[in-house]
Amino acid sequence: MKPKVAFFDFACCEGCQLQIANLEEEILGVVALVDLVEFREVLTGHAPEYDITFIEGSITRPEDEERLKDIRKRSKILIAFGACATTGGVNKIKNLRNLETVRKEVYQDDWNKPHLNTAPTKAVDEVVKVDYYLHGCPINRNEFLSVVKDLAMGKVPRIPDYPVCVECKLRENECLYDLGKTCLGPIARAGCAAICPSNKSGCEACRGTVPNPNKNAMHEVLAKRNLTVEAIIQEFTMFAVNPEVSK
Amino acid sequence: MDFMQISKKDFQKFVENLIQSKEEVVGVVKKGKHFAYDILEKSEQLCLDYTETILPPKKYFLPVEETLLKYKTGVASSYEATYGKSPKVIIGIHPGDMAAIALLDKSFSEGEKDSHYLNKRANSTLIGIYPTQSFPHRFSNSMIEKDAYKAADCFLVDLGNDYGIEVVTEKGKKIASAMKAVAGEKGLNEKIAQAKAKIKDEVSMPFSRRELSEFLHNKETHAEWKKRAEKCFSCGSCVLVCPTCYCFDVKDTVALSLQEGERKRMWDGCMLEKFANVAGNHNFRKLAGDRLKHRIFRKGKYIIDKFGMAGCVGCGRCSQACVANIASPVDIVQELKK
Ligand code: SF4
Ligand code: SF4
Ligand code: SF4
Ligand code: SF4
Ligand code: SF4
């Protein structure tokens, strides 16, 4: 029997599901391996249980937590899908400021309407247990395919636990630090083929960090490049990587 | 060793002809503000006046990622080895990198021969060149002794309008005659020796490589490892750029049909945190300090003890690549000496 697979989205841009839709021919191969029962909310709630559930987006409202918990109960394997889900992603920038200020800024006069209620952003694993993570903003299609294949074969999916510098070196890029720029590559989790440094733009750790990031050393390196503490914190915060530096 | 010579103009003509003959010719080219080995499409791209390339030329014999065999899933007898191609000629290898290739030749022929490496290696002719520019991190002279001549087919030495050629092997002889290089005039070998000595290393290892191995003998528990490791990212850059590193990981990748697959190997490195992770989630080099110590022992002791060859050829790439600026073997040894 093919595993039943479902996709659900929460607060996100749906860019990660778009990556799946963009698989083109390969999508047929995926459909041959798995039974896609929920995709893009079209069929929400119809299948009672799922073998593999992908959760896209971060959790930003109390009612979403309930919905997620219900999905978790009905899922054998639950995978956080994309940066919004794995780390909270860009949505977590909101948590750095007062919630009321944020709401007023975004919703203006309507900020206090009940349907626009919002809570501090959470990553999926802050609400329910997550079995596997597919990092990235957006996710990497090849990584998605390899996770699907591994699960279909009953293998434990392996995601990179080494930093972006590895992939950057293997592509023989000029290091951005040698070009007077900065980059979080040494502490950021790989899996994207170092796409940003390969295009001369510093990594912002959209895939989160490696399991034991040496943040002090990163701080020191950035400080040596004359970055102020504020600039360092900014460098770290795009994708909710706690800088752990004091102002 | 024979000494020959060729004008730079004729050498370029030779390279151009080689490219035109549809052979794969690799040489050093500019890459932004840096340098890299790449396939030449025109002889003008070749840039022999260079500091150091980002990655060493070993990538042509031990590719960053290569398929070792293909198989049908569930059919044990179905596997078939696959062999990639290597360039016919590689031009511009510095002595340090040449010595590193000599080490790889040695280690990939020990015991079970690594046919994937050795097949590619046998196919290529290696043209070296003595550096014409200093590179602030290089200390090859204190490390490589004569190892470079165990791998080079010939070496070029910049003599201004001409290249002097040291012809080392039969392959070297063949390529020198293909270039129409001429036998050296009187005094050429002195001229070559002078030109080779012109570019001095800006740093140097305070020991000969034998002495270094002895010096490291009782340094396993030195406080420096832990102290230095506080700044280490375990990012692996220092080992991934190293010409003498030969560690790889092996991984099976199956097609979406799940019917067929490929076994690939890709570069790996001992400075990465999970490199020494084995079954049961045991890591026998858990701490960054242990990994840093292992790297230096491997470069400065284990290899010289095992093969009598340089485990570090002093190319200086690790020092250049380390974002934390802590990887230089010379700096580390200086600290251990204090
Ligand atoms: S991780 Fe990025 S691409 Fe994916 S849904 Fe979130 S914002 Fe969109
Ligand atoms: S550019 Fe960034 S990712 Fe690449 S090697 Fe340098 S620090 Fe690492
Ligand atoms: S380089 Fe960094 S920011 Fe860019 S995709 Fe990779 S992990 Fe994300
Ligand atoms: S020594 Fe430098 S290059 Fe090597 S792993 Fe540590 S930080 Fe990375
Ligand atoms: S240890 Fe450093 S200097 Fe020595 S061969 Fe490797 S990269 Fe070059």
Question: Tokens 């989205």 label which residue?
Answer: A9
Are residues A188 and A137 part of one domain? Answer: no
Beta bridge partners of B89: B25, B125
Is A73 inside a domain boundary? yes
In a domain, A211, yes or no: yes
- For residue B56, the enclosing domain spans 2-337
Per-residue model confidence (pLDDT) at position A247: 34
User: How far, in Å, CA of B193 to CA of B184, rounded?
Assistant: 13
> Which residues contact residue A79 at a Cβ distance below 8 angstroms, ignoring those fewer than 6 apart?
A52, A53, A54, A55, A130, A131, A132, A133, A134, A147
Residues A134 and A33 in one domain: yes
Q: Which atom of ligand 2 is nearest to the CA of A185?
A: 3
Shared domain check, A130 and A184? no
Predicted pLDDT at A245: 46
Which residues does chain B have within 8 Å of residue A29's beta carbon, measured at their own beta carbons? 256-257
Query: With an 8 Å Cβ cutoff, are B230 and A187 in contact?
Result: no
Same domain membership, residue A170 and residue A147: no
Range of the domain at A22: 4-152
**Is A170 found in the same domain as A143?**
no
Tell me if A134 sits within 8 A of A144, measured CB to CB. yes
Cα angle A212, A218, A224; round to 5: 165
Task: Give mean pLDDT, residues B135-144.
Answer: 94
Mean pLDDT of chain B, nearest integer: 95
Neighbours of B198 (CB within 10 A): 12
Quick check: A240 pLDDT over 80? no
Shared domain for A148 and A170, answered yes or no, is: no
CB A47 within 8 A of CB A38: yes
Distance of CA B91 to the CA centre of its chain: 13
Q: How far is the CA of A9 from the centre of ligand 2 (A)?
A: 32
- Choose which residue among A164, A170, A200, A209 to substitute to test ligand 3 binding: the one with the highest number of ligand atoms within 8 A of its C-beta: A164
Given the DSSP bridges, would you call strands B182-183 and B162-167 parallel, antiparallel or unpaired? unpaired
Chain B residue with the nearest C-alpha to that of A150: B254
User: Which residues, listed in sequence order, are joined to residue A36 by a DSSP beta bridge?
Assistant: A5
Total domain count, chain A: 2
Q: How many Å apart are CA B292 and CA B305, to the nearest integer?
A: 19
> Which tokens hold the place of A21?
């839709």
CA separation for the pair A173, B112 (Å, rounded): 34
Cα separation of the two ends of chain B: 42
Give me the sign of the Cα torsion angle B202, A172, A193, A12.
positive
Distance CA A56, CA A148 (A): 16
Residues A64 and A132 reside in one and the same domain: yes
One-letter identity of residue A57: G
Nearest CA in chain B to A224: B324
Q: How far is the CA of A127 from the centre of ligand 1 (A)?
A: 19
Candidates B95, B130, B314, B131; CA nearest to B207 is: B314
User: In B41-88, which ranges are E strands?
Assistant: 65-72, 80-81
Report the pLDDT value the prediction gives residue A105, as an integer from 0 to 100. 87
Tens of pLDDT, residue by residue over B44-94, are: 999 999 999 999 999 999 999 999 999 999 898 999 999 999 999 999 999
Q: Which helix (H) or strand (E) holds B34?
A: strand B34-39
On whether both A147 and A74 belong to a single domain, the answer is yes
Q: Does A70 touch chain B (CB under 8 A)?
A: no
DSSP per-residue codes, B152-181: -SEEEEE-SSEEEEEE-SHHHHHHHHHTT-
Using the predicted structure, report yes or no on whether residue B300 has a pLDDT greater than 70: yes
Domain assignment present for residue A181? The answer is yes
Q: Considering only the beta carbons, identify the residue of B257, B273, B323 that sits closest to A221.
A: B323
How confident is the model at residue A242, as a pLDDT?
63
* B286 at A interface, C-beta within 8 A: no
Same domain? A76 vs A187? no
Pair A126, A168 in one domain: no
CB contact under 8 A, B321 and A221: no
Q: Is A241's pLDDT higher than 70?
A: no
A102: CATH: 3.40.50.700
A29 and A75, same structural domain? yes
Residue A157 within any structural domain of the chain: no
First to last CA, chain A: 56
Q: Under DSSP, is residue A55 helix (H, G, I), strand (E, B) or coil?
A: strand
Neighbouring C-alpha atoms within 13 Å toward the C-beta of A234:
7
Q: Which ligand is nearest to the CA of A172?
A: 2
Tokens 């003998």, located at residue: B217
What is the DSSP-derived secondary structure letter of residue A188?
A: B
Q: Please say if the pLDDT value at position B143 is more than 60.
A: yes
SS3 (DSSP) at A223: helix
pLDDT tens digits, one per residue of A18-36: 898 888 888 888 888 998 8
**How many Å lie between the centroid of ligand 4 and the Cα of residue B239?**
8
Mean pLDDT of A118-125: 92
**A217, B232: Cβ pair inside 8 Å?**
yes
Mean pLDDT value across residues A64-81: 96
If you take atom 6 of ligand 4, which residue's CA is the nearest one?
A: B232
Total tally of structural domains belonging to chain B:
1
Collapse the DSSP code of B262 into the 3-class scheme (helix H, G, I; strand E, B; otherwise coil) and give the result: strand
* Ligand 5 neighbourhood includes B63 CB (under 6 angstroms): no
Q: Return the pLDDT at A225.
A: 86
Query: Quick one: pLDDT at residue A244?
Result: 54
